Amino acid sequence: MYKLGIIGTENTHAMAFSKLINLPDPVTGERLYPDVKVVGVYGPDEDTAQAIINEAGAEFMAKSPDEFLGKVDAMLITSRKGSLHSGYAMPFVEKGMPLFIDKPFTSDVAEAEKLIEAAKLSGSKLCGGSGCRLAYDILMLQNSVRNLTASGDMVSASMNYAADPTSEYDGFYFYAPHLTEMALAAFGEDVRSVYASENNGSRLSIWDYDSFSVSLHYTKGTFASSAIIYSKTGNIIRNIDTSLIYRHEVDHFVHMLRTGEMPQSYDSLVLPVKMIAAVEESLKTGKVVKV
């Protein structure tokens, strides 16, 4: 049995993950992951931590993060503020434990790189970020982009998702990972440069690839998401359904626990943080930022 701990119960993701892992499937009556259980939680908000104990069957509330050491086999860091992730995760990374680190991986590039350096030294396996990149619609867009690029028919593309530059949870870093990671999954990680502008709280970012460009619309106050691929053979328009992403995220994490295989490379975990930092830099300087 893999015993898990969760830090950051103020995030609704913590409850969603705990219920998926601990509770029986409502259709089959069987647990989806019989060899895995969330046993301990740490708030620091005690009410939300207690709710997971009451509703999802966690066994104890830790008084501090270091209480998990020696009691669990792996950790999930789900705090809303990415600026807290490195501090919470590092003691477990240094012990070589597997971790899921929610979006944003961190809210600072240097902190993300330090976590990765520590993980490489200890052998800690990591996964996480935004589950939106795992949506089936993103995988279908990815396939279309690959085929159109290979045939020379890819012209350009556009995609949107919500983000709020003024969020109390580290501003733009809180929600920007969703669109950022969806775009990296659909269009590729080989972005050459980034340019960004802002109007009325929404941000537009142009990502240049070798043979095409993508416009990303970080749309404040809207949660519907869609993408358009412009090609010589006709446009592809797809609404993006993210309703199953919690299950996909837990599937990836549990697979990593069982096999030791990371679903993403260390570099892929850091890249979204770098891309968000590039958007911020472009907004600040008004210039194109090379990636």
Domain map of the chain by residue range?
2-131+245-262, 133-242+274-290
Cβ atoms < 10 Å from Cβ of 188: 17
Distances in whole angstroms, Cα of residue 122 to Cα of each of 87, 117, 185, 265, 277? 16, 9, 28, 15, 27
Q: Which amino acid is at 239?
A: N
Q: Which amino acid is at 36?
A: V
Cβ atoms < 10 Å from Cβ of 99: 25
Residues 6+ apart with CB under 8 A from 207: 183, 187, 191, 193, 194, 213, 214, 216
Q: 3-49: per-residue pLDDT in tens?
A: 999 999 999 999 999 999 999 999 999 999 999 999 999 999 999 99
Q: Does 223 score more than 90 pLDDT?
A: no
Q: Which amino acid is at 223?
A: F
pLDDT given for residue 80 in this prediction: 97
Distances in whole angstroms, Cα of residue 228 to Cα of each of 21, 89, 178, 209, 210? 35, 37, 17, 16, 19
pLDDT given for residue 57 in this prediction: 98
Q: 229-275: per-residue pLDDT in tens?
A: 999 999 999 999 999 999 999 999 999 999 999 999 999 999 999 99
User: Three-state SS string across 24-56, please?
Assistant: ECCCCCCECCCCEEEEEEECCCHHHHHHHHHHH
pLDDT given for residue 54 in this prediction: 98
Q: In this structure, which CATH number among 3.50.50.60, 3.40.50.720, 3.20.20.70, 3.40.1620.10 belongs to the domain 2-131+245-262?
A: 3.40.50.720
Q: In this structure, which CATH number among 3.90.226.10, 3.40.50.300, 3.30.360.10, 3.40.50.360 belongs to the domain 133-242+274-290?
A: 3.30.360.10
